[in-house]
């Protein structure tokens, strides 16, 4: 990778990283002599933890200090085999690999096991990719059925004041209702209550479920042997134990790369079910998400799966189901009255009532304190009075509408959207809708001869959808493109002007194909220097985020943090417009950050990273999902897993070799 002036600022930091990072350099215990070593599992594991986990967090990481005057924490461990031979394992990365192997054996109830040196000393890229493919996807797979509910009900978000676990089924899904009724009878240990939703679901009805929130059913099907089971899906991980809207698109890309085509297809099938029964792809399949969706990646996800399916009548029929659902989602929801604005572009909007129930405790404490003072009552009293409807506060109602709408965007929280999301037509949403329109046109054109009749008898043509996409593209240039700054910005249709918040979403039109070649060139020229950090593309600039104070706390989607979906969209968008070399460089930066943290922190694959410091040790808002586990991570984090296996496809073998040796991006020469 050739140095440019914009990257010289990283050189000093890179020199420090070169000498302080725990690079996986081969231990002198010599892998060639360390093939299959038989050990007693529990005593070896206990000894390893006692010696090397000196900070007591049930991991072996670079943060475990060496205890002066002892050999504890010196990152060297002597492994004794059953025949009395000894083998040394040295270095954080190798010791954590040994910890993981012993933990797996213990959890499987094995008393003695063979430690395979080729696994313990595996190059990190190979080990991480294999763990994702062979362990993490399985660990994150769920089903909404009798066999899967036990795991889902362990989630703290299912707890209710009644102590019951609620399963809600659509009004017209008789199969799901009878099935879950039978599960409730046969599995009293699940403490399960089954509720049929009304035919028309209103925001008021959803508000009334806050004390009895529950999981929503997804697609059910009969297996080959006649059993009814839920269609499987992959969850993000950690506290996210349900099927999420936009996470699922990126997860599917990873599944497809790893050959898990049927699982990715099953996730599309679950989304078709949601569109047909809930009117949208839900933020996630829980009751308090019934009033909002998430960014619309449905056609992109379905077409990615379609590319891996065998051609034939069954696949064509499936694609037609996708098409029907995609048109319904686009026209009824995203172009419906709550989302279409006076600009003829769309906004994010959630018409739910009051604070979103899924937020962490104390999230709105400062607001209740502020308003409590105005009403001369303490925060707790004000909160109760407001939520019961005894006090009407229109400005607080507006805040919660914007807050909920921001959550539909998936970017919760960001100062780009924090207080005015419902008043913005955003670059990201309209880029995604442009992509949906062109996808629908392509499906009708390529697979159905240019026109297709829908279930209601109406006719859809490829030309009409191309016209719709063309109109949106013109409107995006009119409202969202800033010629002077050479970037895309959100548009405030209430105050009739662009915002000036510089966000990674300025690259979305490159991913969707909505940008002209000249616009793409200018975005690269102007946005890359502002948003590129040591570890990839940050969510926003520091200036746009603003200074961090008690009243202006750090938000997780802004500087200095970066997220897998932004990286993946930007790599693809740059490649679309001929910036393949830059996409490789950015992919390497991100993969280096993920790899280094996995080596230093016991295999950690995190939800998000501080890309300025290349660190997974992030504590903004909800903390960092994927970093909290004991001894071994069994799931990583969904879209970060996907970004890893997809990101590797952007790199040459030479770059992957450099990544294995943890060569910082600033020192890499393009192969």
Largest CA distance in the chain: 82
CA angle 459, 461, 463 (to 5 degrees): 155
Residue (of 283, 151, 268) closest to 216 by Cα position: 283
- Residue 322 burial by CB count (10 A; 0-12/13-18/19+): exposed, middle or buried? buried
Q: Are strands 192-196 and 491-492 parallel, antiparallel or unpaired?
A: unpaired
Question: Which H or E run contains 513?
Answer: none
Q: How many Å apart are CA 160 and CA 351, to the nearest integer? A: 23
- Residue 305 burial by CB count (10 A; 0-12/13-18/19+): exposed, middle or buried? buried
Question: Which H or E run contains 306?
Answer: helix 298-306
Which stretches does DSSP call E strand in 405-500?
424-425, 451-453, 459-461, 481-482, 487-488, 491-492, 497-498
- Cα torsion angle, 175, 178, 182, 185, sign: positive
Tokens of 547: 């200074």
108 is catalytic: no
Locus of tokens 């080959």? 224
Q: Are strands 214-216 and 165-169 parallel, antiparallel or unpaired?
A: parallel
For 581-602, b/e burial (b = at least 16 CB within 10 A) is ebbbbbbbbbbbbbbbbbbbbb
Question: Which H or E run contains 230?
Answer: strand 228-230
Of residues 145, 585, 607, 610, which has the active-site annotation? Answer: 607
Residue spans of alpha helices (H) in 448-514: 462-480, 508-512
Alpha-carbon distances, residue 401 vs 185, 332, 348, 351, 420 (angstroms): 40, 20, 10, 7, 9
Find the Cα–Cα–Cα–Cα dihedral 47, 49, 55, 57, rounded to 10°: -160
| Helix, strand, or coil (residue 147) | coil
* Cβ–Cβ under 8 Å, residues 465 and 444: yes
607 is catalytic: yes
Of residues 412, 490, 585, 610, which has the active-site annotation? Answer: 412
As annotated, the active-site residues are 412, 607
């Amino acid at each position: 990778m050739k140095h440019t002036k914009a990257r010289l600022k990283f050189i000093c930091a890179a020199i420090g990283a070169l000498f302080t990072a725990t690079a996986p350099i081969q231990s002198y215990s010599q892998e060639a002599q360390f093939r299959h070593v038989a050990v007693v599992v529990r005593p070896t594991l206990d000894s390893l933890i006692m010696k090397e986990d000196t900070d007591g967090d049930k991991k072996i990481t670079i943060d475990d200090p060496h205890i002066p005057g002892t050999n504890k924490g010196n990152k060297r461990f002597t492994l004794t085999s059953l025949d009395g031979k000894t083998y040394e394992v040295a270095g954080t990365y190798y010791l954590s690999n040994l910890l993981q192997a012993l933990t797996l054996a213990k959890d499987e109830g094995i008393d003695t096991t063979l430690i395979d040196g080729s696994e313990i000393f595996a190059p990190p890229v190979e080990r991480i990719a294999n763990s994702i493919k062979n362990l993490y996807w399985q660990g994150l797979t769920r089903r909404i059925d009798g066999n899967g509910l036990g795991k889902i009900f362990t989630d703290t978000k299912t707890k209710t004041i009644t102590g019951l676990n609620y399963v809600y089924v659509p009004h017209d899904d008789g199969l799901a209702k009878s099935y879950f009724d039978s599960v409730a009878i046969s599995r009293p240990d699940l403490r399960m209550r089954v509720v049929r939703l009304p035919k028309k679901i209103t925001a008021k009805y959803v508000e009334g479920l806050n004390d009895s929130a529950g999981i929503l059913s997804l697609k059910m099907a009969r297996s080959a042997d006649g059993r009814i089971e839920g269609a499987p899906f992959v969850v993000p991980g950690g506290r996210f134990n349900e099927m999420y809207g936009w996470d699922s698109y990126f997860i599917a890309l990873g599944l497809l790369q790893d050959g898990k085509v049927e699982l990715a297809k099953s996730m599309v099938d679950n989304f078709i079910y949601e569109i047909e029964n809930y009117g949208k792809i839900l933020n996630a399949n829980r009751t308090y998400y019934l009033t909002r969706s998430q960014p619309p990646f449905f056609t992109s996800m379905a077409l990615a799966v379609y590319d891996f399916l065998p051609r034939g009548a069954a696949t064509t029929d499936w694609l037609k189901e996708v098409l029907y659902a995609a048109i319904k989602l686009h026209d009824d929801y995203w172009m419906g009255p709550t989302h279409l604005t006076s600009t003829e572009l769309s906004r994010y909007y959630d018409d739910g009532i009051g604070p979103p129930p899924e937020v962490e405790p104390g999230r709105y404490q400062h607001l209740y304190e502020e308003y409590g003072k105005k009403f001369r009552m303490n925060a707790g009293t004000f909160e109760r009075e407001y939520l019961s409807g005894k006090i009407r506060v229109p400005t607080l109602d507006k805040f919660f509408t914007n807050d909920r709408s921001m959550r539909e965007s998936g970017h919760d929280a960001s100062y780009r959207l924090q207080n005015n999301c419902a008043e913005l037509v955003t670059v990201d949403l309209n880029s995604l809708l442009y992509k949906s329109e062109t996808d629908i046109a392509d499906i009708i054109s390529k697979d159905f001869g240019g026109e297709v009749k829908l279930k209601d008898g109406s006719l859809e043509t490829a030309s009409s959808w191309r016209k719709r996409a063309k109109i949106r593209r013109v409107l995006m240039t009119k409202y969202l493109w800033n010629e002077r700054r050479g970037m895309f910005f959100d548009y405030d249709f209430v105050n009739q002007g662009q915002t000036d918040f510089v966000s990674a979403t300025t690259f979305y039109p490159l991913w969707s194909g909505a940008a002209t070649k000249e616009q793409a060139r200018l975005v690269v020229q102007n946005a890359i220097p502002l948003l590129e950090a040591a570890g990839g593309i940050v969510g926003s600039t520091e200036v746009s985020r603003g200074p961090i104070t008690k009243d202006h706390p750090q938000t997780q989607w802004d500087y200095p943090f970066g997220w897998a979906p932004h990286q993946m969209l930007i790599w693809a968008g740059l490649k679309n417009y001929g910036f393949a070399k830059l996409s490789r460089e950015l992919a390497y930066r991100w993969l280096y950050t993920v790899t280094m943290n996995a080596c230093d922190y016991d295999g950690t694959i995190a939800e998000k990273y501080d890309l300025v410091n290349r660190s997974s040790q992030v504590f903004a808002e909800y903390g960092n999902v994927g970093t909290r586990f004991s001894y071994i991570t069994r799931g990583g984090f969904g879209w970060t897993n996907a970004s890893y296996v997809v990101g590797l496809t952007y790199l040459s073998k030479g770059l992957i070799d450099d990544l294995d040796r943890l060569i910082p991006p600033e020192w890499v020469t393009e192969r």
